[in-house]
Structure 1
Amino acid sequence: MVSAAATTAPATGKRVPKPRADALRNRERIVAAAREMVVEFGAEVPIDEIARRAGVGNATVYRHFADRADLLRHVVLSVMDSVTEHAERALAVADADPDASFGALRTFVHAAADERIGALCPMLTAGFDKDHPDLLAARDRLEAGTEGLMERARAAGQLRTDIAVGDLMVALSQLTRPLPGIACLDIDRFVHRHLQLFLDGLMAPARSELPGAPATLEDLRQA
């Protein structure tokens, strides 16, 4: 039996110590600080500033993350996981009450906006490994939750049929993309107002015919 202080590494069969509670807290603080500072100042924020915001030293950051790319990947994963959890909770509501499907979609979109998913966009540059296995797995889970939620609203006759998940994600990312270095204390008020206007436009029956074709996530990846 493995003690509470150790686990077994699958590849070697050797027992390795579990991370200490304070080490896990430091890691969480670093990721949280990096998320905040990327939103405020952009993806090029210095590591030492992130360390200062997290209340740790630079050496602690590099004990947990090999380099900037590793840290930013975990920031992206943190945001994706949080957004996916919102989608899955909303999906459970829609499954329990199909008449509440569009309301569940609204709740998800506003919750996702609060996660600042638009802050991910500047990080997804040429030097960012978008095909890392962890990111691919997180992306698949997010897509499944979001597409499932939209399908429930569509099946209930509440979501217009000429909208795909890519359309939703484009609007959500654009409306929540921060302006690095610009302090706008009331930005949330405008974000949620404009998201509500956008969501009203998604409701069935459609009031106009949209130009072009619905945007899928594959379309966005190829763009």
Structure 2
Amino acid sequence: MQTATATPVTPKAPRPRADALRNRERIVCAARELFVLYGAEVPLDDIARRAGVGNATVYRNFPDREALVREVVCSVLDRIVQAGQTALAETGDAFAALEHFAHVSADERFSALCPMMANAFDQHHPDLETARERMERIIEEVMDRAKAAGQLRTDVGVGDLMIAVAQLSRPPAGTDCASIDRFVHRHLQLFLDGLRAPARSTLPGAPMTMEDLRQA
């Protein structure tokens, strides 16, 4: 009589403890705040201090600076996606939903991510590409809905909106982020008013895509 061979059971990877997840979240949050203020080269010791954790905890979660920068960028892109999903879930005014999305994106300091996305690490890392593609899709959906409602001019693209959000939330030379907070949303609203249909002028060039921005 042949004895059945037992199928080996692969043990599941242990779930991270709640306190470990909180530490990781604190590190990412602290890194984002300092990257916005001082750029991606801020000392990791400063990030650990701001997060209230030890240096070893930072390195245990992120083996190098590139991994931390990538996590920060992906987390911000994910929050922008969530803002877009919230805008799409609103059943009222499509342009008001677009406005809300744009203002939330500005609060995420999207402009601070631009140089990091371009220079700090591998732009083709799978995690980054997935987060970026999700963001681009959701923005396009929000804008398409406003266009379908006849509220958004048809000669603008995703890149047009995001470059304006990035530029308007970027501090002018010689100032810091905190000093321009009171101007960002005022000037962004001025821009958004210019996106309303019917258009009052003819824009030069073609609608800008996110690919246009990457190539620029």
For normalisation by structure 2, the TM-score amounts to 0.91
The answer as to whether partners of 2:66 and 2:121 remain within 8 angstroms in 1 is yes
- CA shift in 2, pair 1:179/1:64, >3 Å: farther
Q: Which moved more, 1:179-188 or 1:52-61?
A: 179-188
| Paired residue secondary structure (2:13) | strand
Contact 1:41 1:181 survives alignment (8 Å): no
Alpha-carbon distance in 2 for matches of 1:179, 1:39: 14
Q: Which is further off, 136-145 or 174-183?
A: 174-183
TM-aligned CA distance change 1:180 to 1:52, over 3 Å:
farther
Specify the alignment match of 2:88 in structure 1.
91
Q: In structure 1, what is the Cα distance between the partners aligned to 2:114 and 2:102?
A: 17
CA spacing shift, 1:159–1:43, aligned 2, 3 Å: same
Larger radius of gyration: 2
Matched-pair contact (CA < 8 Å) for 2:109–2:169: yes
- Listed as ranges, the matches of 1:170-185 within 5 Å are 170-178=163-171, 182-183=175-176, 185=178
**What's the CA shift for 1:183?**
3.6
Q: Does 1:23 align with 2:20?
A: yes
Structure 2: how far apart are the matches of 1:134 and 1:176?
Answer: 25
Listed as ranges, the gaps of 5+ residues in structure 2 are 1-8
1-structure distance, mates of 2:135, 2:201: 29
Identity of aligned residues (%): 64
* Aligned Cα root-mean-square deviation (Å): 1.7
The correspondence for 2:69, drawn from 47, 72, 90, is 72
SS at match of 1:172: helix
Match of 2:194 in 1: 201
The alpha-carbon deviation at position 13 of structure 1 amounts to: 3.0
Aligned to 1:63: 60
The structure 1 residue matched to 2:128, chosen from 102, 112, 135, is 135
Task: Tell me the residue number matched to 1:32.
Answer: 29
Task: Report the residue type matching 1:220 in the other structure.
Answer: L
Q: Which amino acid aligns with 2:182?
A: R
Match among 101, 109, 115 for residue 116 of structure 1: 109
- TM-score (norm: length of structure 1): 0.88
Instruction: Give the partner amino acid of 1:55.
Output: G
Q: Is the 8 Å Cα contact of residues 84 and 145 (structure 1) preserved in structure 2?
A: yes
Mapped contact 1:40–1:182 kept (Cα < 8 A): no
Q: After superposition, what is the alpha-carbon deviation per residue over 1:120-160, rounded to whole angstroms, capped at 9, x for unaligned? A: 01212334111111111111111111100100000111000
Amino acid at match of 1:168: L
1:80 and 1:139 in contact (8 A); partners too: yes
1:5-24 matches, within 5 Å, as 13-24=10-21
CA–CA separation in structure 2 for the residues paired with 1:69 and 1:123: 10
Contact 1:159/1:202, CA 8 A, preserved across alignment: yes
Q: Which runs of 5+ in 1 are unaligned?
A: 1-11
| Pair 1:192 & 2:185 matched | yes
In the aligned structure 2, how far is the partner of 1:180 from the partner of 1:59? 36
Displacement, 1:14? Answer: 2.8
Residue pair 2:170, 2:177 contacting (<8 A) in 1 also = no
2:203 counterpart (182, 187, 210): 210
